[in-house]
Amino acid sequence: MILQAAGLALLAALSPTTLLVSAVYLGSARPRLVAAAYLAGAIIMSLVMGLVVIAILRNTGLQHHSQRTPRYGLRLGLGLLMLAAGAVLARRKPKQPDPDNAKQGLVSRMIANPAPRSAFAVGLLLFAPGITFIAAVQVIATANASLEATTAAIVVVVVINALLVWLPLLVHIFAPGVTTHYLTSFNGWLRANGNKILVAVLLVGGLIVAITGVIGLASG
């Protein structure tokens, strides 16, 4: 359970936007304070939404053996939804994100003037659950596991989901100059390839989730 959920959480964590925002905050006048507020928002949103999804799915009894078919049917549905989203994004001409352009959207306006309060709000906004994160939590919610195992699994998923927030911050604490330099240099590549990364994550994650759903239904 934990390994499968962790793998999907890793796919969910691979967000170019998340890393771009981390780069902006770590290059600000108060990098660690602002980035820490961003991390707090990300962790809180991931944890709260993870618990909400688990509560909803557990209340439907999907972790019970008798609900095996609905459980894997849901998993197959999530996988197909991820594949469809990836296909739509692959066909759509991407708009290149530019965190320095305040006219691009809500997040861009919020990070234009980095501050702890707005950074916390950005963390909440960016880490509202996506399909891949929900798929990771669904693995936990539908497993017939103990409270201790479920708690450990959700903590692992939440920590991995915020990987591109806490990892740059951790590296920045020990090597601020190097971290800022490489993140800034990496920004251009992320802007150019962000859509491709997102498409790949959705397609790979969708394929994995759909296959596990099909196998579960076939073995039932």
Answer for the pair 143, 64: CB distance below 8 angstroms, yes or no. Answer: no
What pTM was computed for the model? 0.82
What pLDDT is recorded for position 67?
A: 65
> Residue 123 CA to chain centroid, in angstroms?
11
Q: Which domain holds residue 103?
A: 2-219
Q: What is the pLDDT of residues 172-219, one digit of tens each?
A: 999 988 888 788 777 777 777 778 888 888 899 889 888 988 988 888
Mean pLDDT of 53-64: 78
Is the pLDDT score of 102 beyond 50?
Answer: no
What pLDDT is recorded for position 207?
A: 92
Q: What is the pLDDT of residues 119-167, one digit of tens each?
A: 999 999 999 988 889 989 988 888 877 888 889 999 999 999 999 999 9
Domains held by the chain: number: 1
